Chain A
Amino acid sequence: MTAATRPGPARRTGIPPRLLGLLGLAGFAVLIEILPRIGVLPARYFPTTTAIFGALVDYAGDGRFWTALGQTLRTWVIGLAIAVLAGVAVGVVIGAVPVLRALTASTIEFLRPIPSVALIPLVVVLVGSGMSGTLVLVVYASFWQVLVQVLHGVADVDPVARDTAQAYHLGFRYRVRYVVWPTALPYAVTGIRLATAVALILTITGELTIGTPGLGKLMDTAYNSGLEAVPSVYAIVVVTGLIGVLANNATRAAERYVLAWHPAVRAELPA
């Protein structure tokens, strides 16, 4: 997803891709430092990198920040776990039973495109604005990512393998385990990676708009605390970005581990 993972340009320059990625980031930081200073961006509303970093350092010594970080991670991980378990379970069952699949296809295609954000007013009234409110949004948004991928995966099962399993009278449990699952796994893993990002987005959105405690809410209080607190708003943006990068790296690493046997992953390994 990032330039750093593409081996192409690195081979030409001889610089390790990881270093190139860091260089790019450093360049971006320098740009953000300079632009407000020379007046291209209004410094009052667009603080310099050093000001943002200063706000980050202030946060590091502020208990409220760490509490909020913990709250955000908690909502995110719980929401993701529920969505992944439900998505995989429902996906395997629906995908393996053709009648169920035909029965639910139109409903899934109707429910899936509904933006989670559109459910906010409903969620506030029905569930309230505590963690459970944001959890509903997170689970709703990320569940479909997993479900649809798993459904595709299950549909992709090699007919020869399926027929063989049938010929040997393998039970549902064994068919799922030895035929369906190996085919669906790479799809499911992709779904989980997508869901990880979506769940983080919805966690912050929920905190920001309905006031569930967490980084998003901390950002909202900074936003409402006058112009002097503007760097603090950006500091939270930076933190959420870092969480996103770490999560993406973690899911990619997990992907490589889980799918070590898969040709697509084997080919990606550096020579």
Chain B
Amino acid sequence: MNRRFAAPIAALLLASLSLTACGDDEPSSSAPAGQNDQVKAGVIAIVDVAPIYLGKQQGIFAKHKIDLTLETAQGGSAIVPNVVSGQWQFGFSNVVSLLLAQSRNVPIKVVANGNNSTGDTKNDFGGIVVKDPAITSPKQLEGKKVATNALKNIVDTSVKDIVKKDGGDPSKVNFTELAFPDMSPQLEAGNVDAIFVVEPFLSQAKAKGWKIIGTYADVDPNLCVALYFTSKELIGKNPDLVKRFTDAMTESLTYADSHPDDVRAVLGTYTQITEAVRKGLTLPKFPSAINKDAVNKLADLSVTYGLMPSKPDVGALLP
């Protein structure tokens, strides 16, 4: 009897062993002299991180002696713990999440710029979309239900700032949390009055004839939306690696900013955005320099709208 049972168990074990054998080997953070460093970076599989994929594809990271593995997570909340614990060496996160982490003394530090608004308030990669033709300006969002991907983060803070600049009262806007892909269906169904979406959902909303009444560029023409960061531990342990990553990232950003067609092409390798949509969407700007004024502005806005009790040490967060 036990022999009968032993066969399936053995088969199971063998299968698992053979599957493990063909698995990927875990890269380690420190490589022997002369070899490339094995580096893992945590990103979100969205348009914003195209430069790092492009940099890897173009061999920019290899040139700086970095063997880059990109790991994707659903959001900064999953990336920060992985970077702090050393599972990943670098990460990508929006500015407000990083400011929140800084205000809670999470040991991280920014190493490179991520992506910025286009500067064109009519044509940006993230903005407020309404279906009701009666709503024509942000201040009319008072008393309306607006969808944000996360509460107390960069999107609702931006919407509040846009409403305030238009002469409205941001405290009268009702926010509701929805994932970006779910926003258009909810707006269509009339469950919300306005949504804040990013590409590729923004251009699809536009294609439906819905109106954009405000964008990231309204907050700041050169709004820094996201940044790449590392743990303070890695800076102490391997400052040379951090410097090389920063150099490679800077180079990748410059390359991406001047090769939009390559950016659209690389999107197809890590997202499943169809080619037609890739061609039409609005890309963010990828400046290599961090706009410190914009980060400070977001820090001030975060305090104004109660995300954090006092302004975090922006200088300590930024390089």
Chain A residues proximal to chain B, CB less than 8 Å: 42, 44-45, 70, 73-74, 77-78, 80-82, 84-85, 124-125, 128-131, 177, 181-182, 185, 188, 209-211, 217, 220-229, 232, 254, 257-258, 260-261
Contact = CB atoms under 8 A, between A and B. Distances in A.
Given A210-B78, A226-B277, A228-B276, A177 B71 contact: no
B237 interface: no
B57 interface: no
Contact of A227 (B16, B87, B204): B204
B271 A225 contact: yes
B9 A85 contact: yes
Contact of B273 (A77, A125, A226): A226
Contacts of A229: 272-274
B24 to A, nearest CB: 9
Contacts of A261: 1
Given A128-B87, A224-B271, A229-B274, A81 B12 contact: yes
B1 to A, nearest CB: 5
Interface stretch (B180-188, B209-217, B241-249): B180-188
A122 B201 CA distance: 32
Contact of A226 (B8, B16, B185, B274): B274
14 contacts: A73-B19, A81-B15, A128-B82, A128-B88, A129-B87, A182-B1, A221-B72, A222-B272, A226-B273, A228-B273, A228-B276, A229-B272, A229-B273, A232-B272
Contacts of A188: 5
Given A129-B87, A185-B5, A224-B180, 11 more contacts: A73-B19, A74-B19, A77-B15, A78-B20, A125-B81, A128-B82, A128-B88, A226-B201, A226-B273, A228-B277, A261-B1
A131 B272 CA distance: 22
Contact of B4 (A125, A130, A220, A258): A258
B2 interface: yes
A56 B54 CA distance: 27
Contacts, number: 108
Contacts of B184: 227
Interface centre among A177, A182, A229 (most CB of B within 10 A): A229
Sorted nearest first, the 10 A-B pairs with minimum C-beta distance are A128-B87, A226-B200, A225-B272, A74-B19, A228-B274, A81-B16, A78-B16, A225-B273, A211-B73, A229-B272
B16 A257 contact: no
A42 B73 CA distance: 29
Interface residues of B, number: 41
A177 B2 contact: yes
Given A74-B23, A77-B12, A227-B204, A129 B5 contact: no
B35 interface: no
B46 interface: yes
Contacts of A221: 45, 72, 270-272
Contacts of A260: 4
A129 B78 CA distance: 8
Given A45-B185, A80-B12, A211-B71, A74 B5 contact: no
Contact of B181 (A70, A130, A224): A224
Contact of A81 (B2, B13, B180): B13
Most chain A CB neighbours (cut-off 10 Å) among B1, B85, B88:
B1
A73 B71 CA distance: 19
A181 B6 CA distance: 12
A249 B19 CA distance: 21
Contacts of B88: 128
Nearest to B14: A81
Nearest to A62: B272
B74 interface: yes
Nearest to A75: B19
A85 B11 CA distance: 12
A257 B4 contact: yes
Nearest to A210: B78
Given A77-B12, A77-B15, A124 B81 contact: yes
